[in-house]
Every structure is written in C-alpha cells, then in structure tokens.
A = this chain, B = another copy of it.
Amino acid sequence: MADLTPALKLADDGLANSLDRLFELLRIPSISTDPAYKADCRRAGDWLVAELTSLGFDARLDDTPGHPMVLAKDHSAGASTPHVLFYGHYDVQPVDPLELWEAPPFEPALKEIAPGKTVITGRGTSDDKGQLMTFVEACRALKAAHGQLPCRVTILFEGEEESGSPSLKPYLEAHAGDLKADYALVCDTSMWNPETPAIAAALRGLVGEEVMIEAADRDLHSGMFGGAAANPIRVLSTILAGLHDETGRVTLPGFYDGVEETPSQIKASWETLGETSEKFLGEVGLSVPSGEKGRSVLELVWARPTAEINGITGGYTGDGFKTVIAAKASAKVSFRLVGSQDPQAIRKAFRAYVEASLPADCKAHFHEHGASPAIQLPYDSALLQSAKAALSDEWPKPAVIIGMGGSIPIVGDFQRMLGMDSLLVGFGLSDDRIHSPNEKYALTSFHKGIRSWIRILDAIGQQS
C-alpha cells in the first residue's frame, strides 16, 4: 500500500477548489429528457472533457444520436496494473414542480442545515454530478501526490441516464475495445446511513411504459354526452386499479415468473440493520408499507418487484372546473424487476392486459420507455472485499453489503456486453431528495467520497 497521507491531505486542503469546480458543473441545466436542454447537455459534456484533459487524461466527447458521451483514459500506471472503468452520468432529472424549490435548482449553494451539518443544494448534487466529481477529484489528488494513478483508469460519463440511456448499448458495442476493463466502478448509489458506507450487490430492473386511452374523436360536454359516451379517464383508472390485488401483488399473468425468494441468510443480514417501516418511511411522512403484505420494508424495496404509476393526465386540470369528457387520457407506468424477470415478457403482459380490459369504442396506444433486467452481483469477490475494507477505513462505521431498489441498467449492460462485473459505491443519503425538488448532497459525502475513492483506487492498485 502506498502512503496515502499526501493524497488525502491534498483532498482536504483542496476541498474549496473542488467545490468550485462541482458548482460550475451543477450550474449547467443538463436535463436529458427535455429536448429544450439539448445544448446544455452538450455543454456539460464539454466541461467534463476540458476538466479531465487538464488532469492529464486523454479525453474526448463522442457524439451519439442523443446526448454525447465523455470518454477519458489515463493508463500511465502501466499495463501490469488493473484496469477499471469508472461510470457516471452528467444528465439530471427535470425540476418540476419548480415552485416547490426553496432556491433555484441550477444555482448550487452550501447550506448549513444543522450545527456542523452542511449540504450542497441543487439539481444533480446527489444524482449524479456530485457523485461523479468525487472520483474526478480523487484522481486529481492522487496524480498531484504521486504523479500518476495507482491503476489504469478509463472514465465513461453518459448524458442520457435519466431518459432511458437509448444510445448506451450501441456505444458500448462500438467501443467495446476501449471500455472493456477488469471491472467497472459505478458511483450512483447511496450510503446505508450518514456514518455507514454501503456497497450495492443487487439492483432491481425496470420496464417503463406509457399508455394512452382514446375514446371519442373530440372532447365532449359531460352534460350532453355524460352517461352515454365512454370516458377514457374512467377506463384508464379502472385498468390501473386492476394492476394490484388486495394483498398488494401485481395481477399481470406471469408477472412473478423468475422471482425467487431471497435466501434466508441474506434476509437475516438485512434484519441486523435494524430498519423498520416506521423509520424507513417516516423520513418521508409515511409509516405503513403499501406493497405485498407480510414482507419487511427492505425486502419490499430491494428484493420484490413492483408496478407503479409515475404519472397520469387527462381532461381539464387547470384552475376551476370544466364539465368535459376528455377524448383521451394517459399514464406512465413502470415495473421494478428482480431475479430473472423478463422485461419484454412483462411489457407484453401489461399491453395484453390493457387491450383485454378495453370497453367498446376505446383504443389503447403504447409507448416504450426503456427496459432492463435485474442484477445480482457476486457477494464474495476480492474486489468487493478490498473495497469494503477501504471504505471501512474511511468512515466511522464498517461498510455493509446491501440491495438497491432502483435500477442502474448500465450494470447489466457491462455484465452482458463486456463480461465485466461492477462495484457499486456511492455516497448519497436517503434524504437527498433525488428526482424531487430541493435535491441536496451532504458536504461530508462529497469530501469523504473523494477520500474514499483515493483509498479504493489505491487498494485496486495493490491487486496488480
């Protein structure tokens, strides 16, 4: 093991400058799902290329049919050292409802929210700009301290993670030679709690689907036609209400094919984390799990599949009242997957269910929004164990191995397309409000995140 003292000290002493750089990136409104922000996405990519180039990386912006990829390499550690691919994303979620933000989402700031507890506020602070910059700043400190990195590093930042990553697979395929490494490092996850770092070893998959129900060829007056004309909102509500039975299980035929019961020793290790429904849900003003009955809250979010309605709209939704029967109504629906559930089979089952539920005169239109299967990583790899040790050195409490409720499709793509497992380490916290107004990232997460990557990269370098 190299002496890490100089690099860690550089990370500490340079924190203010690291924050300045992060704020520059946060100020760019790189909302990938909204075409209005296309130029901003490219600007974020350009900024990262310039930053990595100044660090001595061989960096470039690669065009795609969507937003561009940032690809950067520093292999000065030499061919005998391990090769890691670091992945992050520079795009962010939309910011609506804007009126709920306490400060403008793209004007990052430091805010002391409790004595000694400072956070960085703004869209993308936690998901994922703050996280990816922990790695960039760790590379900066290591290079400044030792003149080179402890292992070969390739960096891939994409700009479409929040909109289904449509360009990613073709890009991985076209650039497999550049991207294939010994393993991937992915920084887009959370700590177990503010004192306890976590490594995620199981991730749920995702199927995104939009359905639009159409009835009459125009909006109708509910006085003139009410009672006679089909109402697409009523039809849609009935279809959505039928997705779950009374025990909280999803009703689609075949939905649970490929879902396995979590091994009892894994469930037992989760029990030791001391999480309760009241605690987990209490942070967001809830208390009772709404999913399948008879399962712990961690099992529900880490190891059970779901159907959720993410958005719905139809008819008149402005101020006041309009006695209209809408011509159409639509909903965005997503399914979280576990085990070996087949995303395409589930999409097909959903569409078949909707079609079979349609009353006379109604049509359904579907629009696909991405699909990825669930991921299960090996619990016993040398990489996992050495990363666990490195993290445990940095933080007050030892690192834990956990599941993840959210999908990180790239991990599956790395596994299937490049034959490469991933190490999932991130420094988000459960109250970071990612995807919501007032997103934040703890200053501690950023600072100790940088220090954590210094330790992990060093540990990886020792494996050569």
Footprint of B on A, CB under 8 Å? Answer: 32-35, 93-94, 96, 162-164, 190, 204, 206, 208, 210, 215-231, 233-234, 236-238, 240-244, 277, 280-281, 284-292, 297, 300-301, 304-306, 308-326, 329-332, 334, 336, 359-361, 369-370, 404-407, 430, 433-437
Assuming A218-B433, A287-B360, is B223 touching A34 (CB within 8 A)? no
A313 x B312 contact (CB < 8 A): yes
Which residues from B are CB-within-8-Å of A316? 94, 96, 310-311, 332
Complex CA–CA separation, A291 to B227 (angstroms): 5
Expressed in whole angstroms, the minimum distance between the Cβ of A354 and any Cβ of chain B is: 13
- Which residue of chain B has the shortest Cβ distance to A428 in the bound complex? B224
Cβ of A130 to closest chain B Cβ, rounded Å: 16
User: A220–B308 Cα gap in the complex (Å)?
Assistant: 12
Instruction: Name 8 extra pairs, CB < 8 A, besides A222-B406, A227-B306, A285-B361.
Output: A190-B224, A206-B323, A218-B437, A222-B306, A225-B405, A226-B334, A234-B309, A321-B332
Contact of A435 among B242, B320, B323 (CB under 8 A): B323
Q: CA separation between A224 and B404, bound complex, in Å?
A: 7
The answer to whether B290 touches A228, judged by C-beta atoms less than 8 angstroms apart, is yes
**Shortest CB–CB separation between residue A439 and chain B, in angstroms?**
10
8 closest Cβ contacts across the A-B interface?
A223-B406, A33-B320, A217-B285, A311-B315, A288-B360, A241-B241, A227-B291, A321-B369
Distance in angstroms from A248 CB to nearest chain B CB is 9
Copies in the complex: 2
**Bound complex: CA of A433 vs CA of B217, how far in Å?**
11
Some 5 contacts from A to B, beta carbons below 8 A apart, are: A94-B316, A287-B360, A290-B361, A310-B315, A310-B321
Are the CB atoms of A311 and B288 closer together than 8 Å? Answer: no
Task: Find out whether the CB atom of A370 lies under 8 angstroms from the CB atom of B321.
Answer: yes
Q: Whole-angstrom distance from the CB of A284 to the nearest CB of chain B?
A: 4
Q: Is the CB of B329 within 8 A of A312?
A: yes
Whole-angstrom distance between the alpha carbons of A80 and B277 in the complex?
79
User: Could you tell me if B286 and A361 are in contact, using CB atoms closer than 8 angstroms?
Assistant: yes
Is the CB–CB distance between B288 and A361 below 8 Å? yes
Min CB–CB distance A371 → chain B (angstroms): 12
Which residues of B lie under 8 Å from residue A206 when comparing CB positions?
223, 323
